[in-house]
Amino acid sequence: MVGLNFRKIYIYILSFFSGMSIMAVELSASRLMAPYFGTSTFVWTNIIGVIMIALAIGYILGGRLADKNTNLRTLLKLIIFACLALFLVPFFTPVLVKNLTSSFFLFSSATFVIFFGSLASIAILFFLPILLLGIVSPFLIKLLSVAQEDVGQSAGTIFGISTIGSILGTFLPILVFIPTMGTARTIIFFSSLLFIVALCGFFQGKYFVLMPIIILPWIYNLPEIKQVEGKIYETESSYQFIQVVDEGKSRLLQYNDGLGIQTVYNKESILTGRYYDYYSLLPYLTNKKEKSILIIGLAGGTIAKQLKYFFPDAQIDGVEIDQKVIDASRKFFDLKNEADIYNQDGRIYLAQNKKKYDIIIIDAYSNQLYIPFHLATKEFFEEVLAHLSEEGMVAMNVNAASDNSKLLRNITNTLNLVFNNTYTLKSDPNSMNYLVLGAQTELQPERLAQNTAIELIPIALFASFNFKKVQFDNNFSVLTDDKAPIEYLTDWMILDYVMSRE
């Protein structure tokens, strides 16, 4: 009877840890792929799709296997094999992805590489171990049904306990393990837990013999997630994989796959030669002498440093959602007292703050090339307008392949619903960066060439001739909190851009 009770309790424990490990591995998979392919809807679709297909096949095979063989040791061997396969994932990933992407780049399509490269990588790394873990639940239900008749209750209990494990497997990696241990060690940690539980089925409760296995993630020196020439720092936060890279005279802050550079710090000049420099022209468009400026998406602080350099009396607030980015900006990008920094989401900051600004700059990007959708909607811009002074303006950077990009025109349409005047300025003829501006009063770009700092004269002259006033266009849509397909528009904009250059 004691043996039977131990067996029943052990089955529930096994169900709990298998559910927790599956979810922890799924969430870790997104972080493991992010440095190479980003975290777009394409990548998430592949992760969820591969995991669901693997689990579905595992459920089917598990049911058939359990009908033929009700030996618990058979299941434990499969679990142990799955855990061993997951142990190898962090070591195998850099080599696999490097070889796959080098092959896919022959097709000369960034979207092709992102979609099919991530699909192939995820399938090779995770399909088999997740399939094997999918066998667990139907097998355990069969084991319980052999000992008792209430199969429905057994199935409900197994799935309930497994789901509770999945809940922990959802929160713990993102909130605790990935920020403190990193993605690779998180995968090994949860695999080790399940590995220990499976071995306990062989050793009948001699847990102390197996506990040293849990230190495996700290014994071995794991490979770097992504090797980048000139890298001086890398870390993972709850939001993204972060790298600081030296490239000639510039220092770069990159997130995830590095397609989008979040900060450029020129070690020899206050100017970067990139779109950031154009934000320093904005104060010249207003009549007010002393400026109050809000930057949503502070990142490494390039914009704040430039504005403070050209306008020492400006009062600058910077909002950055990722505390680890703030720490890196202070340590590696010489960000000191140029701005009062708030560790918060930009929209929440506005909702909780009644302060008004002369200029609000939005330069926030989710993961790499994606504007967070909630920072580009009609409702958001109405909140921005409520925080602007009478002659204030909002400016944001938008990546667009052309003047008629759907992403760009949807944003200008949305601004036109809120502001009396909407403008665009392509910051460089050879770039995809557009500054989009909204204001209640008409801006006077011709003033840019007057009383401008010497360093800014070249871009001021360029900007004065390239400001465009944009009207609402019925051929394009608007973005609202209910419908703002930013990632979709960005992905297809990138594809159109790549195809146009072939």
Instruction: Give 444-488 pLDDT, tens digit per residue.
Output: 887 777 777 888 888 888 888 888 999 999 999 999 988 888 877
**Whole-number pLDDT of residue 1:** 41
288 and 369 in a single domain? The answer is: yes
pLDDT band at 396 (very low <50, low <70, confident <90, very high): very high
Supply the range of the domain harboring residue 204: 2-219
CATH code of the domain in which 184 resides:
1.20.1250
Please indicate, yes or no, if residue 13 is contained in any of the structural domains.
yes
Which is more confidently placed, 212 or 273? 273
Instruction: Give 264-277 pLDDT, tens digit per residue.
Output: 878 788 888 888 88
Which 8-state DSSP code applies to residue 450? S
The domain boundary, picked from 181, 203, 219, lies at 219
Count of domains forming the chain = 2
Q: Per mean pLDDT, which range of 103-117, 145-159, 304-318, 393-407 is the poorest?
A: 103-117
Residue 342 belongs to what H/E stretch?
strand 340-342
pLDDT band at 291 (very low <50, low <70, confident <90, very high): confident
Please indicate, yes or no, if residue 251 is contained in any of the structural domains.
no
191 and 44 in a single domain? The answer is: yes
Which is more confidently placed, 3 or 372? 372
**Whole-number pLDDT of residue 2:** 43
148 and 72 in a single domain? The answer is: yes
7 and 154 in a single domain? The answer is: yes
Please indicate, yes or no, if residue 191 is contained in any of the structural domains.
yes
**Whole-number pLDDT of residue 108:** 46
**474: amino acid identity, one letter:** N
Contact 333, 301 (CB under 8 A): yes
* Cα–Cα nearest to 187, from 169, 161, 212: 169
pLDDT band at 319 (very low <50, low <70, confident <90, very high): very high
213 and 299 in a single domain? The answer is: no
pLDDT band at 368 (very low <50, low <70, confident <90, very high): low
209 and 345 in a single domain? The answer is: no
Please indicate, yes or no, if residue 247 is contained in any of the structural domains.
no
The pTM of this model reads 0.74
The domain boundary, picked from 179, 195, 219, lies at 219
208 and 329 in a single domain? The answer is: no
Segment 99-119 mean pLDDT: 67
Is pLDDT above 80 for 67? yes
Q: What is the DSSP string of 234-249?
A: EEE-SS-EEEEEEETT
CA angle (117 as vertex; 111, 122 as ends), nearest 5: 130
pLDDT band at 257 (very low <50, low <70, confident <90, very high): low
* Cα–Cα nearest to 395, from 276, 477, 263, 265: 276
List the alpha helices (DSSP H) in 240-300.
Answer: none
Which is more confidently placed, 160 or 149? 160
- Give the end-to-end CA distance of the chain in Å, rounded to a whole number: 73
Report the DSSP beta bridge partners of residue 293. 316, 359
Segment 140-145 mean pLDDT: 87
**Whole-number pLDDT of residue 216:** 55
Q: Count CB neighbours of 467 within 10 A.
A: 18
333 and 448 in a single domain? The answer is: yes
**Whole-number pLDDT of residue 497:** 62
Distance CA 470, CA 460 (A): 20
Please indicate, yes or no, if residue 234 is contained in any of the structural domains.
no
How far apart, in Å, are the Cα atoms of 64 and each of 68, 136, 351, 433? 7, 12, 55, 56
**Whole-number pLDDT of residue 469:** 92
Please indicate, yes or no, if residue 26 is contained in any of the structural domains.
yes
- How high does pLDDT run on average in the chain? 83
Which two tokens mark 431?
């770039």
Distance CA 231, CA 228 (A): 6
Please indicate, yes or no, if residue 360 is contained in any of the structural domains.
yes
198 and 278 in a single domain? The answer is: no
Kindly compute the dihedral angle of the four CA atoms of residues 484, 488, 494, 499, in this order, to the nearest 10 degrees. -130
302 and 364 in a single domain? The answer is: yes
Distance CA 202, CA 52 (A): 30
Percent of the chain at pLDDT exceeding 90: 31
425 and 295 in a single domain? The answer is: yes
pLDDT band at 147 (very low <50, low <70, confident <90, very high): low
Please indicate, yes or no, if residue 484 is contained in any of the structural domains.
yes
Phi then psi for residue 392, to 5 deg, are -75, 170
CATH code of the domain in which 419 resides:
3.40.50.150
283 and 172 in a single domain? The answer is: no
CA max distance for the chain: 91
* Cα–Cα nearest to 279, from 267, 263, 268: 263
Q: Count CB neighbours of 461 within 10 A.
A: 13
The domain boundary, picked from 187, 219, 251, lies at 219
Contact 386, 353 (CB under 8 A): no
